[in-house]
């Protein structure tokens, strides 16, 4: 069952309030924008390195799990491709199939608590995505 709570991205990432954080990645945004850009800055360009290596590219439907080492911690991040962004720096809600695919992957990886940024999802209220997550707990940051 999906439960929700409010937390900051910093808490989610560095204090272990979630098992994994989900981050959107657009194919045409370089340098990275939104939560992906903030996270890349926090981890000193590790995500940009993965982009240059071809480990992720932001194509629609792409799903990439990256464990990132930072300050003696392993941060679990799942990137979901959003394809081409026609309005750079604006965020939109992923397709329902993408949301379902995120949950399916998290369940397979045995992650129980997932963190999202409402701003990264382009939503105002948790109710806009709650119905897509039945087997994991949602934690949302502003």
Confidence of residue 100 (pLDDT cuts 50, 70, 90): very high
82's CB contacts (< 8 A; 6+ apart) are 24, 25, 26, 27, 58, 60, 92, 94, 98
Q: What is the pLDDT of residue 72?
A: 82
Contact 70, 43 (CB under 8 A): yes
Overall average pLDDT of the 16-26 stretch: 91
Distance CA 91, CA 42 (A): 20
Overall average pLDDT of the 20-49 stretch: 91
Structural domain range at position 37:
4-141
- Given a cut of 90, whether residue 99 has pLDDT beyond it is yes
CATH of the domain at 72: 3.40.220.10
- Given a cut of 70, whether residue 6 has pLDDT beyond it is no
In this prediction the pTM is 0.88
Number of domains in the chain: 1
Structure tokens at 136: 């994991």
Overall average pLDDT of the 126-138 stretch: 89
Q: What is the pLDDT of residue 75?
A: 85
Q: What is the pLDDT of residue 68?
A: 86
């Amino acid at each position: 069952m999906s439960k929700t709570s409010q937390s900051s991205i910093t808490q989610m990432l560095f204090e272990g309030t979630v098992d994994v954080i989900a981050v959107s990645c657009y194919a045409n945004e370089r340098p990275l924008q939104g939560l992906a850009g903030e996270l890349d800055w926090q981890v000193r360009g590790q995500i940009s390195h993965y982009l240059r290596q071809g480990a992720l590219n932001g194509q629609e439907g792409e799903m990439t799990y990256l464990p990132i080492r930072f300050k003696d911690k392993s941060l679990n991040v799942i990137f979901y491709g959003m394809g081409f962004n026609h309005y750079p720096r604006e965020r939109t809600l992923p397709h329902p199939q993408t949301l379902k695919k995120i949950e399916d992957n998290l369940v397979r990886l045995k992650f129980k608590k997932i963190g999202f940024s409402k701003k990264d999802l382009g939503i105002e209220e948790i109710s806009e995505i709650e119905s897509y997550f039945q087997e994991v707990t949602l934690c949302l940051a502003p």
